[in-house]
Structure 1
Amino acid sequence: MTQRAVLLANLGSPDKPETAEVRRYLNQFLMDPYVIQLPWPLRRMIVSLFVLPTRPKASAEAYQSIWWPEGSPLVVLSQQLRDAVQAKTDVPVAMAMRYGQPSIEQQLLKLCENPAITEVLFMPMYPHFADSTVETSIQEARRVIKAHDLNITLQVVQPFYDDPDYINALVESASPHLNEPYDHLIFSYHGLPESHILKRDESGSHCLKQAECCATPHPAHATCYRHQVMRTTAAFAAKAGLEASRYSVAFQSRLGRQKWLGPNTEDRIRELAASGARKLLVICPAFVTDCLETLEEIQIRGQEVFEEAGGEQLTLIPCLNTHPAWVDVLSQWCASDPTD
C-alpha cells in the first residue's frame, strides 16, 4: 500500500544575517545554473568578481533589518506553516529549502527513514513556474533520490497560479487591506530576466514577441512566468472586484545588467507618487511566505522610495504565510492529487 509523505519547499535563507553566512548562501544560490543561465566559467567569474566582493555585506545589512529573534522570517514562517498543515493532515509533512537549511536532501532522507513511505508529494512553494525556483527545486529532489537510491515515487504539485483555491485564499488574506481606503494597488512580482522567458518558448516566436503574447493562448504558457503572473493578477482582480484603473503589475528584485521583465516596482512607486497617489498597497503574490524581498525591499525600502517621491503611506499586504485559508488549501492538497 502506498504511504504518502509531503515535502514543502521554499527558496531559502542564510543561517545568520552576517556577511560570511550571506556570502556562503549567495554563492550557493547564484552558482545554480538554473539561476544564472550561463556556462560555468562565466557564471563563476560573474559571481566571484562582481557579486561576492561587495553584495554580501549590503545583503547582510538588509537581513539584519528584518531578522527576528527566532531567526530568518522566511524559515520561521515556513516552519510555522509546516506545523499548521501537519496539524490538519495525517500524512507526514516536512519543510525544506532549496538553498541553505534545512536542505531538500536532509528532509528527503529524514522522511525515507520510515520504510513505509513510498511516495513523496513535492510542493514547490512558488505559484508561478520559473527555472530558478520551480525547476531547480524539482531537479534537486530528483538528484537526491537518484544519488541515494531512494525507493520512493516523487509526485510534483504543478504551479498553482490560477488555482481557484489559491486565488480565494489570496483574496481572503488581502481583504482587510482592500477594505481600507487606498489610491492604488501594485502587484509586485519577483523579477526574471527576459532570457529565461525566451529560452522556454520552443516556438521562438510567441513569448515577448507579440504585444498581447500573454493573453493569446499558446503552449509556451505552461512554463511562461510572465503569462502566469498576469493570470494570477486577472483572477485576483476578478475575485476581489477591483477596478482596472486601481491596480497595476510591476517586477522587483533585479540583479545584473541583462534585460529583466518590467516595469520595475520602484519606478512604478515613483510614478504613482508623482501622479498624486498618497496611499499605496503592495501585494507580492510570487511569494507565499514573507521574506527579505517583501519585508525589506517593499515594506522598508518601498516606503522610503514612496515618501521621497511625495507619497505618504505604503502598506505591504502580508504574504499568505499561515493564514487559515492557505493552511486549509495545503491540507486539502496533501490528501488529494493536485499534480495533473
Structure 2
Amino acid sequence: MGKKGILLVNLGTPDSPEVADVRRYLDQFLMDERVIDIPAFNRTLLVKGIIVPFRSPKTSKLYKEIWDENGSPLLYFSKIQAAMVQQKLGDDYHVELAMRYQRPSIPAALERMKSALVESVHVVPLFPQYASASTGSVIQNVMEIVGKWPTIPPVSFVNSFHDNKLMIETFADNARKYHPENYDQILFSFHGLPERQLIKCDHSGQHCLKKENCCASLTDVNKFCYSAQCHDTARLIAAELDIPAEKYSVCFQSRLGKEPWVQPYTSEVLKELAAQGKKRLLVFCPAFVADCLETLYEVSVEYHEEFKALGGEQVQLVASLNDHPKWIEAMVELSKN
C-alpha cells in the first residue's frame, strides 16, 4: 500500500519583507473571495486600487521588524513543525507543508503528493478555530485542485481543534513561566473577523448577534462560529491555569476597515483596563500556532506601547505553540484522525 499523505497548511507569509513581495502576498491574500467576501468587482477595486498600494509599504516595514536570520518566523516554525511531524509519523506517511498564500504553495505540495503515489490525502489547516476566511478557504482550495485530478484519492479534513487538550496544555505551559497570578489581567486576543462573516455562519438566522452573550457557550447553533470557538478556547486555557472568569478578557485584534468586526476590540479593552488602573497584562494569542507578525509585533510592540501611553506598564506576550513537544504530539494526533 502507498503512504498516507498529510498536508499541513498555514496562512502564509511574504517571500521577503521587501515591498514587492509584501505586495504580492497581500494581493493574493485579500483577493480571496472568502477573506473579503464582497462582489468580485468591488473587491478588485478595493484591494488592487486602495488597500494593497497603500498598505504594502507600511506592512513591509513591520515585517522587517520581525524578520531575522531565519527569515519569516511563521515559515521557520512551520517548517520545524512539519519536519517533526514527519519524524514522529514515520515512513508510512508523506508529510507536506503548504501556505494558503504564497510559498510553499498548496498546488505544489499536492503535486508532490500525487507524484509520491499517496493512497489518501489528509489536510490539517493550522487554524485552531474554524473560520470561512481561513479553514474554509483552505478546504475550498484543496477541493478545487484535487477535484480536477483524473483519479481523486480519499480526501479528509480537520475542521477545527479549538478544544484540543494538548494544544490547551501547551499554551498553559508557555504561560506558567510568566506566573500569570502576578498579572493584573489576562487577555486572550484572537484575530478579528467582520461581523457579517459570523452572521453568515449562523444557518438558523436567529442566534448570531441576536441572542445575548451568543458566543458564551457552544451549542448546535453556533458550533461552527469562530467567535464561539474562540471563547471556548479561552475558557479551557483559563481553566487549565485556574484563572477565574473575572481575571481574564476575550478580545479581537487586527481589524481592517471601518465596518463592524467581532468585538470587543483589543485596543478598546486596553483602554478600559488602563482606566481601571491595571498595570500589567499577560496576553495569549490562541488563534495562531506559530509566532508571526500579529503576535511578535502587533501585540509585543504596538499594544505594549499603546498600553504604556495609557498609563499601563507592561503587555507580555505568551509565546505561541511553535515547536513545543506537546504541540508536536497534538499535530501528530490531528494528522492521524
TM-score by length of 1: 0.94
Give the match for residue 96 of structure 1: 98
The structural deviation recorded for 1:177 is 2.1
Q: Deviations over 1:48-83 (max 9, x none)?
A: 222122100000011011111221111111101111
Q: Measure, in 1, the Cα distance between the counterparts of 2:205 and 2:14.
A: 37
1:251–1:262 contact (8 Å) kept in structure 2:
yes
Structure 2 CA distance for partners of 1:271 and 1:216, relative to 1, 3 Å: closer
Structure 2 CA distance for partners of 1:323 and 1:194, relative to 1, 3 Å: same
**4+ residue stretches of structure 1 with deviation over 4 A?**
none
Q: Deviations over 1:156-197 (max 9, x none)?
A: 112011122322232223222235621111000000100001
Residue of 96, 109, 112 corresponding to 2:114: 112
Q: Deviations over 1:83-120 (max 9, x none)?
A: 122221112211110001001111111122112x1111
Give the match for residue 171 of structure 1: 172
2:180–2:186 contact (8 Å) kept in structure 1:
no
1:200–1:223 contact (8 Å) kept in structure 2:
yes
The structural deviation recorded for 1:326 is 0.4
Question: What's the secondary structure of 2:137's corresponding residue?
Answer: helix
1:46 correspondence with 2:50:
no
Give the match for residue 23 of structure 2: 23
Question: What's the secondary structure of 1:92's corresponding residue?
Answer: strand
Amino acid of the residue matched to residue 273 of structure 1?
A: A
2:218–2:232 contact (8 Å) kept in structure 1:
no
Matches within 5 A, 1:149-164: 149-164=150-165
Matches within 5 A, 1:195-214: 195-214=196-215
Structure 2 CA distance for partners of 1:249 and 1:207, relative to 1, 3 Å: same
1:189–1:284 contact (8 Å) kept in structure 2:
yes
Q: Aligned residues, how many? A: 335
Q: Measure, in 2, the Cα distance between the counterparts of 1:165 and 1:221.
A: 24
Question: What's the secondary structure of 1:161's corresponding residue?
Answer: coil
Q: Measure, in 2, the Cα distance between the counterparts of 1:6 and 1:85.
A: 10
The structural deviation recorded for 1:150 is 5.0
1:192–1:260 contact (8 Å) kept in structure 2:
yes
Give the match for residue 12 of structure 1: 12
Q: Deviations over 1:185-210 (max 9, x none)?
A: 10000001000011111111111111
Q: Measure, in 1, the Cα distance between the counterparts of 2:219 and 2:333.
A: 30
RMSD: 1.5
1:55 correspondence with 2:60:
no
Q: Measure, in 1, the Cα distance between the counterparts of 2:333 and 2:137.
A: 25
Question: What's the secondary structure of 1:257's corresponding residue?
Answer: coil
Give the match for residue 130 of structure 2: 129
Matches within 5 A, 1:1-340: 1=1, 3-90=3-90, 91-115=93-117, 117-179=118-180, 181-215=182-216, 218-334=219-335, 336-337=336-337
1:112–1:150 contact (8 Å) kept in structure 2:
no
2:321–2:327 contact (8 Å) kept in structure 1:
yes
Q: Which runs of 5+ in 2 are unaligned?
A: none
Q: Measure, in 2, the Cα distance between the counterparts of 1:134 and 1:16.
A: 24
Q: Deviations over 1:21-56 (max 9, x none)?
A: 111111111110000111100101111222122100
Q: Measure, in 2, the Cα distance between the counterparts of 1:169 and 1:71.
A: 24
The structural deviation recorded for 1:255 is 0.6
Q: Measure, in 2, the Cα distance between the counterparts of 1:140 and 1:122.
A: 11
Q: Which runs of 5+ in 1 are unaligned?
A: none
Q: Measure, in 1, the Cα distance between the counterparts of 2:139 and 2:260.
A: 26
Structure 2 CA distance for partners of 1:185 and 1:27, relative to 1, 3 Å: same
